[in-house]
């Protein structure tokens, strides 16, 4: 069995992905589906976390509280792009992204800003005979991995601008902002 991420370029890309996830505070690592369910049971709908996938062909799983309760969706990786796993018929509707935070930001934005029909088209993840509408609202942070004040400041800056080079900041701070260019 060959892994779809076995090239040196993919391994470098995956390393960067793990760095972003560890920085985020909402990556829970090697937890089981049962542990994810327990973490999300009392959370509001739309609360989510990322964890390691228990399936050998997938790296990560999105665990999210839906109207049906905690739900797990595998995240596919292929040639530097991530997308949510779905049935073959729904797969063509799903977008792919260069980073997991970008994927989550997209689904959070569509949950908050688009009309229901568009949400239904883009965010319905189908697995076998079951369809689930994903409404991502907020990540749940691991208690022992809550983000630093510096990281929270970076997130605030990233939410207000994508043009870091125009900010009157010293070069080390601009580099720090670029290390994690995401809004969540």
pLDDT tens-digit series, residues 77-118:
988 899 998 765 556 667 889 999 999 999 898 766 654 444
Beta-ladder partners of 73: 62
Cα separation, 1 vs 15, in Å, equals: 22
Same domain, 51 and 114: yes
pTM metric for this prediction: 0.82
Residue 25 DSSP class: S
The pLDDT tens digits for 13-53 are 889 999 999 999 999 999 999 999 999 999 999 999 999 99
3-state SS class at 135: coil
Beta-ladder partners of 127: 130
> Residue 172's domain spans which residues?
147-184
Residue 148: other Cβ atoms inside 10 A: 10
pLDDT, residue 79, reads: 84
Same domain, 21 and 100: yes
Residue 2 lies in a domain: no
Same domain, 36 and 68: yes
Note the helical H segments in 25-53. Answer: 33-40
Residue 167 DSSP class: S
The pLDDT tens digits for 124-177 are 554 444 566 778 999 999 888 788 899 999 999 999 998 888 899 999 999 999
């Amino acid at each position: 069995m060959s892994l779809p991420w076995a090239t040196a370029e993919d391994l470098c890309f995956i390393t960067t992905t793990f760095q972003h996830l560890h920085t985020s505070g909402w990556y829970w690592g090697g937890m089981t589906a049962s542990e994810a369910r327990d973490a999300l049971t009392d959370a509001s709908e739309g609360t989510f976390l990322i964890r390691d996938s228990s399936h050998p062909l997938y790296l990560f799983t999105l665990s999210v509280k839906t109207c049906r309760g905690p739900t797990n969706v595998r995240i596919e990786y292929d040639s530097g792009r991530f997308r949510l796993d779905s049935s073959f018929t729904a797969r063509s509707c799903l977008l792919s992204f260069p980073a997991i935070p970008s994927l989550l930001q997209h689904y959070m934005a569509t949950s908050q800003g688009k009309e229901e029909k568009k949400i239904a088209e883009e965010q319905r993840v189908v697995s076998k005979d079951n369809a689930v509408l994903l409404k991502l609202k907020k990540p749940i942070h691991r208690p022992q991995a809550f983000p630093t004040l510096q990281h929270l400041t970076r997130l605030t800056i990233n939410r207000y601008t994508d043009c870091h080079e125009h900010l009157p900041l010293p070069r080390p701070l601009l580099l720090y902002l670029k290390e994690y260019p995401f809004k969540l």
